[in-house]
Amino acid sequence: EPEVTQTPSHQVTQMGQEVILRCVPISNHLYFYWYRQILGQKVEFLVSFYNNEISEKSEIFDDQFSVERPDGSNFTLKIRSTKLEDSAMYFCASRASGGANEQFFGPGTRLTVL
């Protein structure tokens, strides 16, 4: 069964450093998302991406965040200057077109900012 993959599984970085989290969505999906989950809390929407552009973003997704689909398979989330409060699990998700609402989540990247 096709699945969303994410790398790395765990990233440790120093405050102020840039990180890039990578995702490979399911190949025939057209809608891509990033969510984050701070330890013990609920899953929060960050950004959605369709047709090579951001379709919606949350208040969390400020100027320090960016997304890119550099080729036909990868979908990346970049945090330019990490803060302590960016420490969380980051999930990538993808969705097929045609009105199907089910989102398929990747295993996540645990980001730890020191």
Partner 1 sequence: GQQVMQIPQYQHVQEGEDFTTYCNSSTTLSNIQWYKQRPGGHPVFLIQLVKSGEVKKQKRLTFQFGEAKKNSSLHITATQTTDVGTYFCARAREYGNKLVFGAGTILRVKS
Point out which residues bind partner 1 (CB under 8 A).
31, 33, 35, 41-45, 48, 55-56, 58, 91, 95, 99-108
CB nearer partner 1, residue 35 or residue 75: 35
CB of 41 to partner 1, least distance (A): 8
Token output for 99: 């009105």
Token output for 22: 């990578």
Strand order in the sheet with 19-24: 5-7, 19-24, 75-79, 65-68
**Are 79 and 68 in contact, with CB atoms under 8 Å apart?**
no
CB nearer partner 1, residue 58 or residue 76: 58
CB nearer partner 1, residue 41 or residue 74: 41
CB of 82 to partner 1, least distance (A): 22
CB nearer partner 1, residue 62 or residue 71: 62
Q: Write b or e for each residue in 63-90: b if 16 or more Cβ atoms lie within 10 A of its Cβ, otherwise e.
A: eebebebeeeeebebebeebeeebbbbb
Which helix (H) or strand (E) segment is 61 a member of? none
CB of 43 to partner 1, least distance (A): 4
CB of 9 to partner 1, least distance (A): 11
